[in-house]
Every structure is written in structure tokens, then in C-alpha cells.
Chains A and B, each alone.
Chain A
Amino acid sequence: MIEKIFFVILIVSAIMAVQTPKMRRAVVYLAVFSALSAFVYILMGAPDAALAEAVIGSTISTIIYLAALQKYKVFMIYLLDEKQDTHHREHISHRKDPILTTIEDFCTKRELEPLIVYTVDELDFIKEKPGWDLIVTKVKNRYVLHGREQNYHAMALKDEWEKEKKKKVSFVIEKEHE
């Protein structure tokens, strides 16, 4: 009977690991899954396998996943400027938006490597591309930053901005519907 209860909890934790939007939470759910399955192994009379599962599943692979998440470093920023003339690219490097300095400071603090792309494409076109972390658009001296909910760096940037309460900047968080 108790085995069946733990089987159900195992399946629930596995589904939660797949369904959660944040990577770090998924890692924690996987560790819970491993610990529970180690317990189920003990109930089914395999203490040897249970020890290996507990050590490897919930310790070593968790630490490796966390280290891998820390190495996830390149921060892709798209800067949209619709007034920009695409035929004269020389002057792009001369001026720099003040918001970019703030974002770059944030990136150096978290040891990220900012990769800034100046573009004149439509916002929706860029959003469909994979691999963006932050989109900055400029509407009449007001900046709008677009971030995704899964991206914990973007969420941290949003939190930092809300703490400082800058009025010129607003944040839009995309939720993925898949």
C-alpha cells in the first residue's frame, strides 16, 4: 500500500519537474524525485541500488545541473530602434543608450556576457526567434524591456529595477503558452 502512495508521489514530482517554468526549480524537483525513488527502492528490498540512487541522483547530478546553469552565461539583448537608418551603420557605434550601461553593469555583476544586437526588425519577429534574453524598445524617451518568465536573469533584472523604481523604464514579462 505504502509503495503505491510513493509511486503516485513519484509521478507527481516528475510531472512537476517537467512543467515548472524555471530551470532551478526543475533541478530541485528532480532531486526530490531521486530521493523518493531511492526510498521506493528500499521498500522493494534493494538497498544497494537505493544508496547509489540517493548519492548520484540527488547529490552529484544536482550539483552538475546547478554548475551547468551557472555556466549559462551569454545574455542576448536586442535593441530595437525603429528610427534607425539601416543604410548608415557608422554612427551606431558612436552613441550608446544610457540604459545599456545599466544593463551591462548588471551583467558584469552576475558574470554574464552581454551580447547586444542593434536591429530594426519588428518586435514580434524577434520574439519568435529562439535565444533572446531581453528586448529593449524605445518609445518616446521611455524604455520598454521585454523578458521571459523562464529566464531567471531577466527576472532578477526586473526585480532590481523595481527596487530602484526608475520611472522611465517599464517591464513586460512574456509567459510561454506551449
Chain B
Amino acid sequence: MNHETHSEILEDIMFLIYPLILVFGVYIILTGPRNPGGGFQGGAILVAVFMSRYLVFPISMESLNFLKKLDKIMLIILIITAVVYLFLGLHQTSDLFKVIYNTLMNVLIGIKVGSGLTVVFYTFIDIEGGQEN
């Protein structure tokens, strides 16, 4: 995309609604255990922020390697958390642990989905004709 199609209206509106979408995504993640929503949906909303950033500024992302690492680290932490929770028998102790566990899992899934889908999207943009730029 060239600079002629770069729209100032789009840019200003995106600047206004970025924080709102971010807060909405975090809200969906954190209230996941009780209300409709959860880690996956909230993470997807966060991805929508990064994707609409591409529509406004069509450049590839610099911190893609960091997001790749974050994706893998989150997968490992997710498995470790679930295993620790089950094998230490925390689910039998009290309701407080259940709430903490649910919220923590939702946050972890949200971060993992957000970073993973962003990596998928920006990789898709960078690849051209079967070869990476």
C-alpha cells in the first residue's frame, strides 16, 4: 500500500478506539470464568487490535520474534500450571484456589492466543510467493 491511500481519518479514529478495544479485551479475559467470554475470545479481541493496526500502518512488526517466544513460553506455563494444580490436589482444598486457578488459566490462554494469532497474521503478510522476505 502506498502513502496516498494512508488515511488520516482512519488513523485518528484508531488512535481513539485502541485503548477501548484493549480494555474490552482484558475485561473479557478477566471476567471469563463467570460471564460469557474467556481467554480465547479475549485474546482474539486483542489480536483484532494488532490486525487493525496493520490496516492503518501497513508495515510488518518488529517484535515478532518476541511474540513467537512468548507463544511457546505460554504453552509450557499452561501445561505446568494445570499439572501442578491437579497433582498437588489444590482443587480439593478450597474455593479460593479454584477462582485463582480459573482466572490464571484464562489470562494465560488469552496471552497465548493473542501472541499466537498475531504471529500467524504477520507471518502471512510477510510471506510472498512462497518465500519469506
**Chain A contacts to B: CB under 8 angstroms:** 47-48, 50-52, 55-56, 59-60, 63-64, 66-68, 70-71, 109, 111
Given contact pairs A59-B48, A60-B121, A71-B128, enumerate 20 new A-B contacts (beta carbons under 8 Å). A47-B36, A48-B41, A50-B36, A52-B40, A52-B41, A52-B44, A55-B44, A56-B44, A59-B44, A60-B48, A60-B51, A60-B117, A63-B48, A63-B51, A63-B121, A67-B121, A67-B125, A68-B124, A71-B125, A111-B2
A104 to B113, CA, bound (A): 42
**Are A55 and B41 within 8 A (Cβ)?**
yes
**Are B36 and A51 within 8 A (Cβ)?**
yes
A109 to B128, CA, bound (A): 19
**Are B47 and A60 within 8 A (Cβ)?**
yes
Which applies to chain A's interface (DSSP): helix, strand, loop or mixed? helix
**Are A67 and B2 within 8 A (Cβ)?**
no
Contact of B37 among A51, A60, A70, A111 (CB under 8 A): A51
Most buried by B among A66, A67, A111: A67
Contact of B41 among A51, A64, A68 (CB under 8 A): A51
**Are A109 and B54 within 8 A (Cβ)?**
no
**Given A60-B47, A60-B48, A60-B117, are A67 and B41 neighbors across the interface (CB < 8 Å)?**
no
A111 to B2, CA, bound (A): 8
**Given A47-B36, A109-B2, A111-B1, are A60 and B128 neighbors across the interface (CB < 8 Å)?**
no
* Shortest beta-carbon contacts, A-B, top 5: A47-B36, A55-B44, A63-B51, A51-B41, A59-B48
- For residue B81, CB closer than 8 A to chain A, the reply is no
A111 to B41, CA, bound (A): 35
Question: Would you list 13 pairs from A and B whose C-beta atoms are within 8 A, ordered by A residue?
Answer: A48-B37, A51-B36, A51-B37, A52-B44, A55-B44, A59-B48, A60-B44, A60-B51, A60-B117, A63-B52, A63-B55, A64-B121, A66-B55
